[in-house]
Amino acid sequence: MYRILTAFLLMTLLGTRAGAQRGDHLQPKPALLRLIDANLRQAVNQYKVLMGRVPADKLPKTWYVNGDRLETSDPGWWTSGFYSGTLFYLYEFSHDTALLREAQNRLRLLEPEQFNKGTHDLGFMMYCSFGNGLRLLSTPAYKDILLTSARSLSTRFNPTVGCIKSWDSKPWHYPVIIDNMMNLELLFWATQTSGDSSFYHVAVTHANTTIRNHYRPDYSSFHVVDYDSTTGAVIAKKTAQGFADSSAWARGQAWGLYGFTMVYRATHDARYLAQAEHIAHFLLTNPKLPADKIPYWDYDAPGIPANGGPSGPLRDASAAAIMASALIELSHYVQPAEARQYLDVAEQIIVTLSSNVYKPVVGSNGGFILRHSVGNLPGHTEVDVPLTYADYYFVEAMLRYRQLSTH
């Protein structure tokens, strides 16, 4: 029944593609815009529920339904910036000052992290939070904090390896994860803001090394590449959160798609656009991508049904939301036929995530917007739960789609 209803929703909201005229490849669908506005209004109310649950000195990570329990983090955790970032996005949509005040208050917790040289995730932590705040409010202090954050992130770059180091823990030597592509946006912003080209050099060198060593011939990505820090040689290609070293961990593939799309935006270098399109082709033509476009947590997870039906391994709403946001941006940089294909999939993802399978009623789900994300299944943490970054990229995707009408 769910598959029938989803198919009907898709036909109603998206309409037929037959006879599409040249020039309409970036036109939003009015019915989907209405659905998105309803989603965003609901998200505002959900985050007001979440706001009432988060302790003043913590930041939200997830909600465990069975235990009716909110899990939080300290500001140094990699997801710490998504809560303020989502609040800023929802304020941008609603102009609700309660959301703005909460976002600003939580930024105070994050301020000391600008000096944190022990993490590669300052892009996630600081740019998704302070970056959105600066974009909306033009607060000078936010710019200074972001520039300091970019300097701190740059200290983790090893020119011999050509990458920013991800983790300092054993048994790794010099591990670099595909997620790290997302943190480059902070460095590109710092280049444009400060005029200091060293940030740009770090970012493009990291991107180039990632293309060379993280990607397989089919343009799927390894999760972790471990390097020799002295010679720069590759020691091993592994996974930490995927099914196997050789598998295509779903969120990692989405990070790569988003990351190289963003790098093209920052550089206008055609090789990064080509990389993003190759990754998109791997994902969108993958026979293991379900018809509703919400990926299983790993494209090679055991038990994936041949027909891509609703049964099988856990889905990952966070990977879907990241992919939708990336595809909407990528559609601006390609030819009309490809643009329409990318938007088709992004639209399908938004519609599916808008169903009651993934989007709960207001007041439930601990105040989070989406259900059914997978954080680290091999590590038995954050499995089939709401996640703060799933919310962030879902809201971002919907706002990006709304902005199509202004282009």
Residue 350, burial from CB neighbour count under 10 angstroms (0-12, 13-18, 19+): buried
* 239 residue type, one letter: T
DSSP-derived letter for residue 96 is -
Name the active-site residue from 37, 57, 121, 196: 121
Tokens in use for 391? 């919310």
Bridge-based pairing of strands 373-376 and 234-238 is unpaired
* Alpha-carbon distances, residue 187 vs 24, 123, 155, 223 (angstroms): 34, 8, 12, 22
Q: Which of 329, 322, 293, 349 is nearest to 403 (CA)?
A: 329
Tokens in use for 171? 């048994």
Rounded CA separation 386/375 (Å): 9
Where b means 16+ CB within 10 Å and e means fewer, 152-187 reads: bbbebbeeebbbbbbbeeeebebbbbbbbbbbbbbb
Tokens in use for 258? 């988003």
Contact 226, 173 (CB under 8 A): yes
H helices then E strands: how many in the chain? 14, 9
Name the active-site residue from 168, 179, 228, 384: 179
Judge whether 121 counts as a catalytic residue.
yes
DSSP-derived letter for residue 249 is B
Give the active site residues.
121, 179
